[in-house]
Amino acid sequence: MTAIEDIPLTDVTTTVRAACPHDCPDTCAMLVTVADGKAVEVRGDPDHPFTRGGLCVKVNNYPEKTYSPDRVLHPLRRTGPKGSGRFERITWDEALTEIADRFRATIDSHGPESIMPVSYLGTQGILNGLSVGDPFFHRLGATVTERTYCDSGSCTAYSMTIGATAGVAPESLVHSRYIIIWACNMISTNLHLWPFVAEAQKRGAKVVVIDPMRHRTAKAADWHIPIRPGTDGALALAMMHVIITEGLTDEAYVRDHTVGYDELVERVRDRTPEWAAEQTGIPAEDIRTLAREYATSSPSMIRIGVAIERHAGGGQTVRAISCLPALVGAWREVGGGLLQLPLWAHPVNWGALIHPELQKTGTRVVNQYLLGRALTGEMELDPPVNALMVYNSNPLVVCPEQDKMAAGLAREDLFTVVSDHVLTDTARYADIVLPATTQLEQHDIMFSWGHFYITLNTPAVAPEGEAVSNTELFRRLSTAMGFTDPCLHRTDEEILAESYDWSAPQMAGITLESLRETGWARLNLPSPDEYAPHAEGNFPTPSGKTEFRSSIENNFVVPLFRQLSNDHQPGQPVDPLPHYIPPRETADTGYRLNLISPKSHAYVNSSAGDQDKQKRVQGEQKVVLHPQDAQERGITSGQYVRVFNDRGQFVALAEVSEDIAPGVAMSPMGTWRKNAKDDSTVNAVNPFRFADLGNAPTFSDTRVEVEVV
């Protein structure tokens, strides 16, 4: 037999355990096949109870991303006008020197707050993701960046009602008898949860989808309830009205585990199904049926999607929905309750990662959602933002008021650095572009916002070109700035060791060493077949109960979303009982269609938005219109149309379909401007205004008109 060391390298195939890095609730465990030092295939780990062997269309060709000819492999300096995408290769030393010089110059003349980091969840890894640059920017004294694109309003509302609980185990959904999927296109956005729902359905559960769009998930459900965007709060209040007036409450659960019931009864007294029908467009009888079925099926489960928060009253919508399970005692049983973000089960050591103590008290906070305004000066900032450092994000595609963002990024006096894999729409405006490693080339460890598994990502191959991980990028920047604080120079191993609170009870039996063996582990929580976390109440609220009447009096942003800023300004007082806030934009704007811009099936936000396979699957930027609305405007499928309002416009391919509710237009987000017909995409028309709680975005609170080009 040939000894292993005698086999030529070219014949050696190994499998490396990895984790999908994307901002997706599924956080799949991946197996990477490596041959001859190259990654040749990625697969889902068949032994992982959530991944079950499958990845998704966004990721199953990940090696193509790593070896794409479009990869940025060396630092680049801009040679053409901003936006032109013309660059020359420079060395890392030149890039770092130029960045440090420009940062020092703006600090000298305007102070450190003139530098603003912009980052989000290009990778969700604990090492390279959300918090990777935070200690550096705190040390620098840069503007604190508030990052509330995603679930911030929902988290505020949820915490105000039932506390920051991880809620039910997602696998428990197999035990549910009634599942409401509320504003979530699960088969596209949370694919690996779907088999548990399908299994419940096979066992007799009824699956209901509440969504303006009859999408893949709605088609697979038993009942699709089309709703006007932004009116879900009215539906939830009316469900409570029916449940209370028809005596369907779980009296004992309400008595023992809730506060504010009597006030809630008063609050929903006039919230009749007829009233809600006016708001939502759902017939009153359907609202009654939904409330009755929900209250009398046991266990009943609600899965809320992130999109539920994206309108003026998004926070109160989540407040109202979060009251429902306690009202009917759904939490009593395994498979009953509410599924929002299982993230809270993960004892991530955010403080050790972010180092908020490095931050100077009173450092200003600017929300990234307002970046277009911050850069163009429409938002008055003293000092103005003169230097921008973008990593893990593509703001030109994902932020509203896209034209303002483009104008801001084009400012000649703005110094912009972008670290990414490819020349994104944003990177094309950079002065310096830095090459970033992909997940196959970096160490990481992953929490999940969709399940209770922790996953280790071991690099499968050496970095292509001169790409570096984000951790290495910030070590290099720290050196260039002359910062010697030990926390800025931690090795990946040191950060890994600090990443989790390994002594937390959920971590019993899980160590870095064990993860190196197994790749992943389920947090040490009861089995999904036995786990009913709030059967006996025990909500992590001040009262320990579901708070129909919230004891949290002021609006707030979950600190994690603002670099754990030590500047805790209490927000505006909030009505402590759930209430209905209608959409902000109405037909009075002069624009008759309500535009929503949910996720694309084949992209993850804008990631993969320039990859050939994914572009083929996704197709062009489109807009879906109801036949009635299309006919009124003389639009047929396959025509190019202009979607516009006072904020901007984009050109899209019309798709006329009964799958969308009348009066609603749907155009998925994620297409790059570079690949769009008119150099602009759906965020050109979306508003900058926040929802009621947690500074959530209002992407679904947009009015537009559509016409043939």
Ligand X SMILES: Nc1nc2c(c(=O)[nH]1)N[C@H]1C(S)=C(S)[C@@H](COP(=O)(O)OP(=O)(O)OC[C@H]3O[C@@H](n4cnc5c(=O)[nH]c(N)nc54)[C@H](O)[C@@H]3O)O[C@H]1N2
Positions in the binding site for ligand X (CB under 6 A): 23-24, 58, 120-123, 128, 149-150, 182-185, 188-189, 210-213, 215, 227, 229-230, 232, 305-308, 310-311, 391-394, 397-398, 419-421, 424, 436, 470, 596-601, 603-607, 669-670, 682-683, 686, 699-700
**CA pair distance 638, 647, nearest whole angstrom:** 25
How would you write 172-184 as a 3-class SS string?
HHHHCCEEEEECC
Binding range to ligand SF4, per CB under 6 A, among 56-64, 370-378, 413-421, 625-633: 56-64
Q: Which does 272 bind (CB under 5 to 8 A by kind): ligand X, ligand SF4, Mo ion, none?
A: none
How far, rounded to the nearest angstrom, does the alpha carbon of residue 33 sit from its chain's CA centroid? 29
Q: Which is nearer to ligand X, 386 or 621 (CB)?
A: 621
Identified binder of ligand SF4 from the candidate list 18, 31, 32, 56, rule CB under 6 A: 56
Whether residue 308 contacts residue 318, with contact meaning beta carbons closer than 8 Å, is answered with: yes
Q: Containing H/E element for 96?
A: helix 92-110
DSSP one-letter code for 42:
E
Query: At its nearest, how many Å lie between ligand X and the CB of residue 373?
Result: 16
290 binds, among ligand X, Mo ion, ligand SF4, none (CB under 5 to 8 A by kind): none
CB of 428 to Mo ion, least distance (A): 23
CB atoms near residue 357 (< 10 Å): 11
Q: Name the minimum Å distance from CB 192 to Mo ion.
A: 16
Nearer to ligand SF4, 26 or 98 (CB): 26
Half-sphere exposure of 408 (CA within 13 A, CB side): 27
Work out whether 209 is an interface residue with ligand SF4 (CB under 6 A).
no
Q: Which of 311, 202, 332 has the alpha carbon at shortest distance from 257? A: 332
Choices 52-60, 82-90, 478-486, 643-651; region in contact with ligand SF4 by CB under 6 A:
52-60
Overall size of the chain counted in residues: 709
Question: In terms of CB distance, is 154 or 201 closer to ligand X?
Answer: 154
Contact, 189 vs 601, CB < 8 A? no
Counting contacts by CB under 6 A, is residue 439 touching ligand SF4?
no
- Nearest residue (CB) to ligand SF4, 28 versus 287: 28
Shortest distance, position 41 Cβ to ligand X, whole Å: 20
Partner from ligand SF4, Mo ion, ligand X, none binding residue 594, C-beta < 5-8 Å depending on class: none
Residue 241 interacting entry, from ligand SF4, Mo ion, ligand X, none, C-beta within 5 to 8 Å by type: none
Beta bridge partners of 145: 366
CB atoms within 10 A of CB 540: 13
Q: Which amino acid is at 585?
A: E
Interaction between residue 59 and ligand SF4 (CB under 6 A) = yes
Q: Which residues pair with 31 in a beta bridge?
A: 17, 43
- For 15-52, give one letter per residue: b (16+ CB within 10 A) or e: ebbbbbbbbbbbbbbbbbbbeeeebebbbbbeebebbe
CA–CA distance, 445 with 457 (Å, rounded to integer): 6
Minimal distance, residue 545 CB to ligand SF4, in Å:
35
Bridge partner residues of 15 (DSSP): 33
Nearest to 263 by CA among 579, 580, 542, 577: 577
Tell which one of 58, 78, 241, 332 touches ligand SF4 (CB under 6 A). 58
Residue 302 dihedral angles phi and psi, to the nearest 5°: -120, 125
Check binding of 150 to Mo ion (CB under 5 A). yes
CB of 56 to ligand X, least distance (A): 7
Rule CB under 5 A: say whether 127 interacts with Mo ion. Answer: no
If binding means CB under 6 A, how many residues of this protein chain bind ligand SF4? 13
Question: Of 150 and 327, which has the nearer Cβ to Mo ion?
Answer: 150
Taking contact as CB under 5 A, which single stretch among the options 146-154, 335-343, 590-598, 637-645 is the one that binds Mo ion?
A: 146-154
- End-to-end Cα, the chain, rounded Å: 71
Minimum distance from residue 398 beta carbon to Mo ion (Å): 9
Distance of CA 398 to the CA centre of its chain: 11
Closest approach, Cβ 229 to ligand X, in A, equals 4
Q: Which of 478, 607 has the CB closer to Mo ion?
A: 607
- Between 149 and 350, name the residue whose CB sits nearer to Mo ion: 149
Closest CA to 29 of 14, 42, 38, 41: 42
Whether the CB-CB separation of 26 and 194 falls below 8 Å is answered with no
Closest distance of CB 126 from ligand X, Å: 12
Which entry of ligand SF4, Mo ion, ligand X, none binds 417, CB below 5 to 8 A by partner kind?
none
For position 523 contacting Mo ion by CB under 5 A, the verdict is no
What angle, rounded to 10 degrees, do the helices at 232-245 and 314-327 form? 30
Q: How many CB atoms lie within 10 A of CB 402?
A: 26
Nearer to ligand SF4, 42 or 682 (CB): 42
Can you state the percent helix, strand and coil of the chain, rounding each to 5?
35, 20, 45
The four Cα atoms 424, 425, 429, 433 give a dihedral, to 10 degrees, of 0
Contact in structure between 408 and 414 (CB atoms under 8 Å) = yes
- Is the Cβ of residue 455 or residue 555 nearer to ligand SF4 in the bound state? 455
Question: Helix, strand, or coil here: 499?
Answer: helix
By CB under 6 A, the residues from 16 to 35 that bind ligand SF4 are: 20, 22, 24, 26-28
> Residue 307 interacts with Mo ion (CB under 5 A)?
no
Q: What is the enclosing helix (H) or strand (E) of 78?
A: strand 76-78
Question: Is the separation of the CB atoms in 322 and 180 below 8 Å?
Answer: no
Span of 28-36, 142-150, 678-686, 697-705 interacting with Mo ion by CB under 5 A: 142-150
184 binds ligand SF4 (CB under 6 A): no
Stretch that binds ligand SF4, among 6-14, 54-62, 64-72, 259-267 (CB under 6 A): 54-62
By CB under 6 A, what part of segment 601-620 binds ligand SF4?
Answer: 604
Please tell me whether residue 476 binds ligand SF4 under the rule CB under 6 A.
no
- Do 693 and 315 form a contact (C-beta atoms < 8 A)? yes
611: left (phi over 0), alpha (psi -120 to 50) or beta: beta
For residue 69, the minimal CB distance to ligand X (Å) is 16
Q: Which does residue 391 touch among ligand X, Mo ion, ligand SF4, none (CB within 5 to 8 A, set by kind)?
A: ligand X
CB of 270 to ligand X, least distance (A): 23
Span of 6-14, 53-61, 134-142, 218-226 interacting with ligand SF4 by CB under 6 A: 53-61
Residue nearest to ligand X (CB): 122
The residue assigned the tokens 């699956």 is 207
Q: Give how far Cα 692 sits from Cα of 271, 317, 698, Å.
A: 20, 10, 10
The binder of 28, among ligand SF4, ligand X, Mo ion, none, by C-beta within 5 to 8 A per type, is ligand SF4
Cβ closest to ligand SF4, residue 19 vs residue 665 = 19
59 binds, among Mo ion, ligand SF4, ligand X, none (CB under 5 to 8 A by kind): ligand SF4
Q: Is 193 in the site for ligand SF4 (CB under 6 A)?
A: no
Q: Are 230 and 212 in contact (CB under 8 A)?
A: no
343 lies in the binding site for ligand SF4 (CB under 6 A): no
Residues binding Mo ion (CB under 5 A): 150
Residues binding ligand SF4 (CB under 6 A): 20, 22, 24, 26-28, 55-56, 58-59, 191-192, 604
